[in-house]
Amino acid sequence: MASISYVIYVGVTNDLIERVEQHKDEVGGGFSKKYKTKKPVYYEHYNGIKQAIYREKEIKAWRREKKIKLIQSMNPKWKDLYWDITDRDPSSPRGSLGMTNLK
């Protein structure tokens, strides 16, 4: 996840769409809310939680420059990947509570 000022947030989840919607709706607190990391710009899929957590920790330990290169390898323009993840029409409204009912 990234903010409009390119602050980067790295996390792990078992439901990518729901977690992205939580970021967009500023649900919860902490780093993500403070820095408004609302835009999914990179993601990886794993079949097991252990591998996903290992990768999350690995990326979090990287310097910012390496994280930027990783993001740009998949998404050179830092496009919001939300619509790619959800396969929805970007012109349709999300609603105030997100789209969790559309899974």
- 66 within domain boundaries: yes
Distance CA 76, CA 79 (A): 8
User: How far are the Cα atoms of 23, 34, 46, 55, 78 from residue 3, in angstroms, in the given order?
Assistant: 10, 10, 24, 21, 10
Q: pLDDT digits over 40-73, tens only?
A: 999 999 999 999 999 999 999 999 999 999 999 9
Which residues lie closer than 8 Å to 25 by C-beta, 6 or more apart? 96, 97, 98
Q: Total domain count for the chain?
A: 1
- 24 within domain boundaries: yes
- 4 within domain boundaries: no
What pTM did the predictor assign? 0.81
Range name among 17-21, 36-40, 45-49, 84-88 with the lowest pLDDT average: 84-88
| Closest of 32, 26, 28, 19 to residue 81, by C-alpha | 19
- 52 within domain boundaries: yes
- 72 within domain boundaries: yes
Range name among 19-23, 64-68, 74-78, 99-103 with the lowest pLDDT average: 99-103
- 40 within domain boundaries: yes
- Domain extent, residue 94, equals 16-102
- 85 within domain boundaries: yes
